[in-house]
Amino acid sequence: MDSVTLFVQDRAGRPLANKALRVRLQLSGWRRLPDGSSLPCHDYLQRLVRTDAQGKAPLALGFAFEGTWRATLISGEAQMLALSQSEDTLTVFEPPDRFLADGTPLWEPTRGKKGPVVLVLMGFDASNAFTATQMMQLMAPATDLIRAAGGSVAIVRFPDSQLLPETLAPRAQQAIRTLAADMRERVAVVGISTGGLTARIALTDRSLPVRTLVTYDTPHRGANLNPQLQALIRRYAGPSMQHPLDSPITQAILRDYATKVHWKKRGLADWPAQVITRPWTPPSLPDWPRWCRTVALSNGPRHGINHSQTLLRLWQPFRQERVLARPEDQQPGSLLSGLAGFSTALPLGIAGAEIRELPTFIPTESALDAPADTPPPVDAFFCVPDGAAPLLHDQLSEAAAHFLFYQILHSA
């Protein structure tokens, strides 16, 4: 195929007509050359499209391609509409209903009765471009339940999510007070990933009008990222993937942070023969706030391994190299997301790279702040059942969503 067609609709299934959207296509497959040969293709394309009266938007690739593709929205505004995809149908997620005095976007109830007030703190964003609307879309399995029960949901997007949690905590405290004053109600705070670390630090202020603290897949005890992957990202990935590795929060939470790499030539490419990491110091976090209800959720099981073997393959003429999984990459826990499209091109486009298996990113014992044989230091917790497939770090399952909703409703 040399083109794809998007079908764009709103959440009620109605076609979104005559709408201009800037879209990023992620391709995974093979690019066919004029001589009939093919090359691996794991590329991103950006296109400006406009839907017709039926919500259709044809999009030319510019070359012959075989494989799978996925479309996401490139937001040029602070709160652009977000999209989700099922096959070739893109569903538009609604923008905020209004903004609070401090600029925090708020989604109001979908029904009349009054319910809980929830503030979501966003976590680490490698590009610092993820919008509050996109976070609302990701959290929809839980926030749809909350809003249907009469609840309100506000999202805090930090201008620079790569700063240390103690730097971001004052902004979180301000948002909590603003939301509580506007809604005249105490707030349930949900910290996503490193947003949970920010929430724990913010709640050292016992005067905050908070009834519940929920952390979701938060690295209370650090995160894993294979050091060889770190090395290859620094050598071959673009700035959008390189710069986040040097951010303060990444250096603080990664248990094996690569500080020095010894390279060995492999054909046209350099390969990390030895990666030196520095000793890890766990983040100095305050105790869980016992003056409010505390809840922790993990995207992984408490026991078992993730069974990944080959993490990354770098291919070039006549040879292949692989990063093999370590025990740390196979711990029970959530799986790394966002690197699956990692790709690079060496001279003449004759080499590239592909993530074959996703390693553990946030181990369950880190997300629950307790080893598998120890009760977590919270009032309630949730993790994936043993034997079930662990989830990607940025996924919210239906089971986790219902648990989160119940905990927030229970404490209201």
Kindly report the backbone phi and psi dihedral angles of residue 317, in degrees, each rounded to the nearest multiple of 5, phi listed first.
Answer: -55, 125
- Assess contact for 179 and 119: CB atoms under 8 A: yes
Cβ neighbours of residue 305 closer than 8 Å, sequence gap 6 or more:
330, 331, 332
Largest CA distance in the chain: 70
Burial status of residue 360 (CB atoms within 10 A of its CB: 0-12, 13-18, 19 or more) = buried
Phi/psi at 31 (5° precision): -100, 120
- Structure tokens belonging to residue 379: 């009032």
- 297 has which bridge partners? 216, 382
Please provide the distance, in angstroms rounded to a whole number, between the alpha carbons at the two ends of the chain.
Answer: 53
Signed CA dihedral, 382, 387, 392, 395: sign only? negative
Query: Residue 164 contacts by C-beta under 8 Å, 6 or more apart in sequence?
Result: 248, 249, 252
Instruction: Compute the distance between CA of residue 135 and CA of residue 386 in angstroms, rounded to an integer.
Output: 28
d(CA 210, CA 187) in angstroms, rounded, equals: 5
Per the listing, tokens 């050292």 go with 204
- CA-nearest of 241, 135, 153 to 189 is 153
**Cα torsion for 6, 10, 14, 16, to the nearest 10°?**
-50
Can you give the pTM of this predicted structure? Answer: 0.87
CA triplet 412, 117, 110: central angle to 5 degrees?
Answer: 110
Which mean pLDDT values do the consecutive 10-residue runs of the chain (412 residues) have?
A: 88 86 86 84 84 90 87 64 79 89 93 88 89 91 94 95 96 97 96 97 97 97 94 82 88 95 85 93 92 96 86 79 91 83 63 82 96 95 90 92 93 66
